[in-house]
Every structure is written in structure tokens, then in C-alpha cells.
């Protein structure tokens, strides 16, 4: 137990720069330590992930909470080699999508709810942006639960939001009907190395009590940039040809550059074409 407490404290310290005080009697500390030790590893051992295991993990993930028990999340396990190749072709900037032993796509599904209304002869009166948002949140919860389940058995995972850069192509490959949309892809495999903990912004920037407080954000970002550059500096810089060379390149510069360029400009139009009203 003491070893688990020490591990949990060390993982949180490595993640946030400071660890919160641990209660004296903390149940489940071994599980908390494992969760706090989350690592994204994009190199995989030459070992298959059995389809039966993927189905078990999917079932565990789909046991997660669902908004109003509407159950608006789907998982597509992509096992066919041709479909894997087609998706990998859309995700050229994410080469691990082709290399991962297993791959899944997590989707929001509002089609089932609409079909329930047809079957029960009830009007679907809440046809506005919340219909899409609820399904997207359900899919995100299921994705996070799948990741936790996969790590519990020793697998590593890599979510791929770039699946939304090509929603029409992904939908065509997976045969997604109206009112079903891709939220994220997920690479799954046995890790080839132990990886390392990725530092995060300080807890004070993201954890609030009673009221949101962003008064210290500028200093928190500066502290994070400096801390991350010591423990996990960027090995490559983003688009120096566009933005020039930055002498203090860090997280804030990288993210500012990322969102200084257009991305997913057609996402709203895609969702409307899927049948959603975005007002």
C-alpha cells in the first residue's frame, strides 16, 4: 500500500509539477496509481491483439455512463485489411494508424434515438445542436473508458482526432448512416517500450473550486512551458517555414502555431449533411 501511495504521488508530481495531498485512508490507490501513470506510446511490439480481447474491451467501454440512458455511442472495430488501408491512407500524418495491431473508430450515434421515435410514433422535437452534442459526449466517455480498460490489461492506445479531418471519407469506408459521425480513431497494441509520463499544465490552471479562476493563467502557461522543456522538450518544431524559428519553442508556441492554421473548416457542413441542425 505504501508503495502504491508513493507511486501515485510520484506520477502526479511528474504530470503536474506538484502532487495534491493524498488522504490518509485512500481506497483503490493501486488503480489510481495505474491511471495516473497513463502514457501514450506509438511504437508497438510484434504481437497481435486478439479480436476477442478487442470485443471484451469494447463491451467494458460500452458499460460506461450514458446521457439519460440514450446510449448514443458506437465502436467500429476495423479488422478488414482493405478498410484499414483505406483509413490509413486518409491519416498519412498519423503513420501509427497503419502500424497499430488493432484499430477502432468511436462514433456518436443519434440515429438510434430517431428510429425509436419512429417506432413509438413520437415527434423528435429536440432537433437542434444538443442532439449532436449528447452523442459526441457519449462517444468521448466510451473512448476514455476503452482506454482505461485497455491499459488495465497492459495495452497502449493512441487516440486520433485527425479522423475528423476526413469525415466524409471515413464515413464512406465505415458505411456510417445519417446522424452517425466519427469522433476519434484509436490505435491499440502492446507497447514496444515503457514510454514516459507527459507533463500537463499545473493543476491550478485546470482544477477550480466553487468558481472558475483564470487570473493566474499567463504565469501558469509560462511555468508549464519551462517545466515541460526540461523533462519533455519538443523534438520537432511546427512549420518554421511559415512562423519562423522560435528561440523559446515550447507547448504554448506549438499549440498557437497549430491553431493559427485552418483546420476542419468543413466540420459543421459535414454534420449538417449528416442530418444535424447546429442551432
235-247: pLDDT as tens digits = 999 999 999 999 9
CATH class name, domain 51-194: alpha beta
Where along the chain do its domains lie? 51-194
How high is the pLDDT of residue 229?
95
The span from the CA of 35 to the CA of 60, in Å, is: 16
171-229: pLDDT as tens digits = 999 999 999 999 999 999 999 999 999 999 999 999 999 999 999 999 999 999 999 99
End-to-end CA distance of the chain: 51
Tell me the average pLDDT across 84-93.
95
Question: pLDDT class for 1, splitting at 50, 70, 90?
Answer: low
Q: Which position has the grid cell 488501408?
A: 85
132-146: pLDDT as tens digits = 999 999 999 999 999
User: What are the φ and ψ backbone dihedral angles of 130, each rounded to 5 degrees?
Assistant: -65, -25
Q: Which helix (H) or strand (E) holds 203?
A: helix 203-206
How high is the pLDDT of residue 37?
97
Does the pLDDT of residue 165 top 80, yes or no?
yes
How high is the pLDDT of residue 215?
94
Tell me the average pLDDT across 12-28.
95
How high is the pLDDT of residue 76?
98
27-81: pLDDT as tens digits = 999 999 999 999 999 999 999 999 999 999 999 999 999 999 999 999 999 999 9
How high is the pLDDT of residue 150?
98
How high is the pLDDT of residue 200?
97
Q: Which position has the grid cell 487516440?
A: 159
Is residue 226 within 8 A of residue 200, CB to CB? The reply is no
> DSSP string covering 98-127, please?
HHSSEEEEEEEE-HHHHHHHHHHT------
Question: pLDDT class for 9, splitting at 50, 70, 90?
Answer: very high
For residue 133 the three cell numbers come to 452534442
265-279: pLDDT as tens digits = 999 999 999 999 999
Amino acid at each position: 500500500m505504501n508503495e502504491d501511495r508513493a507511486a501515485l504521488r510520484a506520477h502526479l508530481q511528474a504530470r503536474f509539477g506538484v502532487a495534491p495531498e493524498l488522504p490518509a485512508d485512500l481506497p483503490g490507490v493501486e488503480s489510481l496509481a495505474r491511471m495516473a501513470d497513463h502514457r501514450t506510446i506509438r511504437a508497438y511490439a510484434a504481437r497481435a491483439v486478439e479480436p476477442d480481447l478487442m470485443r471484451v474491451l469494447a463491451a467494458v467501454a460500452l458499460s460506461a455512463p450514458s446521457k439519460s440512458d440514450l446510449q448514443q455511442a458506437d465502436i467500429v472495430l476495423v479488422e478488414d485489411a482493405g478498410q484499414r488501408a483505406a483509413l490509413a491512407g486518409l491519416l498519412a500524418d498519423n503513420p501509427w494508424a497503419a502500424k497499430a495491431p488493432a484499430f477502432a473508430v468511436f462514433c456518436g450515434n443519434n440515429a438510434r434515438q430517431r428510429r425509436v421515435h419512429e417506432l413509438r410514433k413520437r415527434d423528435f422535437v429536440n432537433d437542434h445542436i444538443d442532439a449532436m452534442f449528447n452523442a459526441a459526449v457519449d462517444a468521448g466517455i466510451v473512448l476514455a473508458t476503452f482506454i482505461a480498460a485497455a491499459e488495465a490489461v497492459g495495452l497502449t492506445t493512441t487516440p486520433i482526432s485527425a479522423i475528423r479531418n476526413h469525415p466524409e471519407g471515413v464515413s464512406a469506408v465505415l458505411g456510417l448512416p445519417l446522424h452517425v459521425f466519427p469522433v476519434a480513431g484509436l490505435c491499440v497494441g502492446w507497447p514496444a517500450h515503457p514510454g514516459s509520463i507527459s507533463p500537463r499544465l499545473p493543476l491550478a490552471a485546470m482544477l477550480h473550486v466553487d468558481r472558475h479562476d483564470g487570473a493566474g493563467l499567463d504565469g501558469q502557461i509560462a511555468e508549464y512551458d519551462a517545466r515541460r522543456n526540461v523533462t519533455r522538450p519538443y523534438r520537432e518544431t511546427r512549420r518554421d517555414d511559415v512562423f519562423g524559428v522560435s528561440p523559446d519553442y515550447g507547448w504554448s508556441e506549438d499549440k498557437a502555431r497549430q491553431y493559427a492554421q485552418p483546420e476542419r473548416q468543413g466540420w459543421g457542413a459535414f454534420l449538417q449533411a449528416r442530418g444535424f441542425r447546429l442551432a
